[in-house]
Amino acid sequence: MRILDRYIIREFLKVFALCVIGFILVMLLVELTDKIKYYFEFNPPGILMVKYFAVKVPGYLFFVIPLAILMGGMLSLFMMARRYEIIAMQANGIDAIAIARPLLLVGVVGSLLMFAANETVIPWSNRYSEYVQDVEIAGKPDRTFFKRDQIWMRSPHSITHIRNFVKANQTLERISIVKWDDNFAFTERVYADKATWWQDHWVFYGVNRTRLLPDGTFVVENIPSMVGPLDKPPDDFGRVERLANEMNLTELSAYMAKIAEEGYEPTRYLVDWHNKIAFPLVCLIMAALSVPFAVRARPGAGGVALGLGLSIFVAFGYWIVHTMFIALGHGGYLPPIAAAWAANAIFGLSAMMLLLHAGT
């Protein structure tokens, strides 16, 4: 590696480290403000709150690193331009492409690390932080067991099986409840095609109910609708729907296959699957975008303030465009692969054109 490349990387890393630390502290402060209610409501040990925030850090880094790469590259180059170092490089025949090379290398490394983290650490962090919050801090009993998209719940006198919970419209599908008495003798079985939450109770539809009468005979009833014998509100099933950010690519592929096999449309998850591949490349794109503006800056003009403003504008622009396309993909208005890659295509091509133009 050339001396100049090492110098640019060294100057970049100084700013990058400060940006990462600053952004993490800001996100922790926001999270603390949001979660302080748990401390006053449940009064958990302080070490448990520290554990929760520590587990959340990998998830923060996943979103902080691209912004820190953009800001680190842009601020370090703007400061070099302010010190006339960029002019000195250009006077010696070093163009924008050569200046960008070490930062692009950093972007490639960052993208690879983000992809690896998204397959290993990030899903664990998202799952475990929710467990710490709901079970260890809030003290919710961990009595609901999940197998893929199936839900099993046990109580002293019943067992409930729910085939699927649709969070969007708060609907349960294919519910089966079996009850018994203190002697573990069968008393009732209730099956429903679906159930919807209405005010403060579940309404079962397409019900088949079998009851054991005191004389030992069985009565089978088919009921169009009834108030269901289920006391858990929809919020208790909120963690049932598996989230894409809690699975890696292999787990998400298996989950989509299971959903498709049961007749459901896995479009939303397919968008997220492509996004897991597309989003890590934002590190390379942000590294490329950090160069063109700085190498064309006049010596002594702007400096830190200009670099800070431009990097925030570019980062938020990318995030808004990316979020918009992902939402369109989730809604079925765009093909999944187009929704996941559209922002990368727009900003990646823009970065390439700006970099080539700056090099001329």
- What local confidence, expressed as pLDDT, does residue 146 receive? 43
- What local confidence, expressed as pLDDT, does residue 300 receive? 60
Output the DSSP codes for 251-319: HHHHHHHHHHHTT---HHHHHHHHHHHHGGGHHHHHHHHTTHHHHTSPTTSSTHHHHHHHHHHHHHHHH
In the structure, what pLDDT confidence band is assigned to residue 133 with cuts at 50, 70 and 90? confident
Work out the average pLDDT over 80-101.
87
Q: Is the dihedral of CA 127, 130, 131, 132 positive or negative?
A: positive
In the structure, what pLDDT confidence band is assigned to residue 264 with cuts at 50, 70 and 90? low
Q: How do residues 181-203 score in pLDDT, each as one tens digit?
A: 888 889 999 999 999 998 888 99
Q: Is the pLDDT of residue 167 over 80?
A: no
Higher pLDDT, 11 or 305: 11
Nearest 5°: CA angle at 117, between 112 and 120? 130
- What local confidence, expressed as pLDDT, does residue 231 receive? 81
Work out the average pLDDT over 38-58.
87
Name the least confident of 4-13, 123-132, 253-262.
Answer: 253-262
Q: Report the predicted TM-score, pTM, of the whole model to 2 decimal places.
A: 0.72
Closest CA to 66 of 14, 16, 25, 22: 16
284 vs 239: CA distance, rounded Å? 34
Mean of per-residue pLDDT scores for the chain: 87
Output the DSSP codes for 128-163: HHHHIIIIIIT-----EEEETTEEEEEETTEEEEEE
Q: How do residues 57-76 score in pLDDT, each as one tens digit?
A: 999 999 999 999 999 999 99
Work out the average pLDDT over 298-318.
79
Contact 313, 132 (CB under 8 A): no
